[in-house]
């Protein structure tokens, strides 16, 4: 199988490389605007499907994913700057939230949800995370595998989902066979 990762995410690349999966990379650039009234799950599913369609190449199996963080009814994508990152991290401080990653392989879409709880962040901890820039290009303004991992008190579900690609559920043919 000729796998084509339709993503610029270095985290998704690293996850696939860690499994020994061979693949090409063709980031797809689409409009990621959420539609009015679009439920978070449907939004993530639509984004993954549209990214796969945009990145599809003859002779390849397209793999695309979209990860969002949902706190209450608010969808947190990537922060638009440090003040937006601060706003997001304040929302996440001391509360449980959902991380949803929708994965599209060719035209099949699966979505995985993981529940994550942050410790209550002090102003100094919040400032440290924001100023570090560690969450600048990540949904919810944090990386579980980065500095923010020190402030996560619980994960219910797939860790790799929170990183950006739920490996066990992605539907990718892995290099070993049963």
**Of residues 170, 148, 177, 144, the one with CA closest to residue 159:** 144
Residue 100 zone, left/alpha/beta (φ > 0; ψ -120 to 50; rest)? beta
CB-side exposure of 126: number of CA atoms within 13 Å? 17
Nearest to 66 by CA among 51, 76, 88: 51
Q: What are φ and ψ of residue 162, in 5° steps?
A: -65, -30
Selected catalytic residue, list 31, 36, 66, 137: 66
Is-catalytic flag, 66? Answer: yes
Active site residues: 66
């Amino acid at each position: 199988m000729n796998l084509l990762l339709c993503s610029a995410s270095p985290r998704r690349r690293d996850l696939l490389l860690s499994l020994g999966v061979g693949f090409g990379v063709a980031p797809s650039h689409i409009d990621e605007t959420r539609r009015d009234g679009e439920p978070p799950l449907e939004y993530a599913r639509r984004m993954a499907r549209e990214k796969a369609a945009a990145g599809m190449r003859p002779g390849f199996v397209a793999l695309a994913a979209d990860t969002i963080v949902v706190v209450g009814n608010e969808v947190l994508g990537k922060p638009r700057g440090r003040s937006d990152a601060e706003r997001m991290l304040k929302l996440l401080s001391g509360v449980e939230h959902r991380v949803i990653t929708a994965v599209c392989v060719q035209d099949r879409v699966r979505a995985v949800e993981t529940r994550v709880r942050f410790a209550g962040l002090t102003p100094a901890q919040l400032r440290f995370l924001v100023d570090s820039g560690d969450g600048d290009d990540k949904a919810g303004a944090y990386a579980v595998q980065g500095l923010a991992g020190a402030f996560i008190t619980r994960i219910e579900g797939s860790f790799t989902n929170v990183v950006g690609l739920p490996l066990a559920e992605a539907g990718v043919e892995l290099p070993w066979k049963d």
